[in-house]
Amino acid sequence: MIDWIYFFDLCGTAVFALSGALAAGRHKMDPFGVLVLASVTAIGGGSIRDALLGTTPVFWIQDHNYITVILVTVFLTFIFVRKPKRVPRYILPVADALGLALFTVIGVEKALNLELSGMTAVVMGLITGVGGGIIRDLLCQQVPMVLRTEIYATASIMGGICYTISLHWGAADMFALLFAMSTALVIRLAAIRWHLSLPAFDLKTPQ
Q: Looking at the predicted structure, is the pLDDT value of residue 84 above 60?
A: no
205 lies in some domain: no
In a domain, 97, yes or no: yes
Checking if the pLDDT of 83 tops 70, the result is no
Q: Quick: pLDDT tens for 126-145.
A: 999 999 999 999 999 998 98
pLDDT at 207: 58
CA distance 171 to 168: 7
In a domain, residue 24? The reply is yes
Count of the separate structural domains present in the chain: 1
181 in any annotated domain: yes
- pLDDT category at 147 given cuts 50, 70, 90 is confident
Residue 200 in domain: no
Residue 86, pLDDT score: 66
Vertex 12 angle, CA 169 and 87, to 5°: 135
Is the separation of the CB atoms in 46 and 103 below 8 Å? Answer: yes
**Which pTM value belongs to this model?**
0.92
Q: How many residues does the chain have?
A: 207
Distance in Å from the first CA to the final CA of the chain: 67
Range of the domain at 175: 4-194
Residue 34: CB partners within 8 Å, gap ≥ 6?
Answer: 20, 21, 24, 25, 74, 77, 78
**Average pLDDT of the chain?**
92
b/e burial code for range 30-65 (CB count within 10 A of at least 16 → b)? eeeebbbbbbbbbbbbbbbbbeebeeeebbbeeeee
| Residue 125 included in any domain | yes
- pLDDT of residue 206 exceeding 80, the answer is no
| Residue 207 burial by Cβ neighbours in a 10 Å radius (0-12, 13-18, 19+) | exposed
Residue 153 falls within a domain, yes or no?
A: yes
Residue 165 CA: distances (Å) to CA of 41, 59, 124, 140, 206: 28, 26, 15, 36, 45
The rounded distance, in Å, linking the Cα atoms of 172 and 3 is 14
Per-residue pLDDT of 172-201, as tens digits, reads 999 999 999 999 999 999 999 998 888 877
Nearest residue to 152 via CA among 179, 126, 188: 188
